[in-house]
Amino acid sequence: MLVIIGLLLYGRNLPEAGRALGKVAAQFRRGFQEFKDQLDREGDLSEVKKTLKNTAQELKNVAAVPRAGLDPARALRDLTNEALSSPLPEEAPPQPETTEPRP
């Protein structure tokens, strides 16, 4: 059915129309692949940025270690503040004690 409609519309130019349609389809696929590749690169970039941010934080922590030796009161205060501001781990509910009857 499509071949008959194609012959009626394009006649002898049907092979040319097919090639043009093939080129458009190839360009569409290529553009879609480039779009996917760009999304993948952006995802990789966000991972790299996150890693760099974590590394910078670790470097700050390492730089703070020598200062702790110079001012132990401040180091203790900073550790206390950090401990108080961090969330508490979830605790398991206490298990009821079972007592066995004595014979």
pLDDT tens for each residue of 34-58: 988 887 887 777 888 888 888 888 8
Q: Tell me the pLDDT band of 102, cut-offs 50, 70 and 90.
A: low
Query: CA 3, 9, 10, 12 torsion: positive or negative?
Result: positive
3-state helix, strand and coil shares in percent for the chain, rounded to the nearest 5? 80, 0, 20
The pTM score is 0.38
* Residue 97 burial (CB count, 10 A): 5
Residue given tokens 């009626």 in the structure block? 8
Length of the chain: 103
Amino acid identity at 48 = V
d(CA 23, CA 33): 15
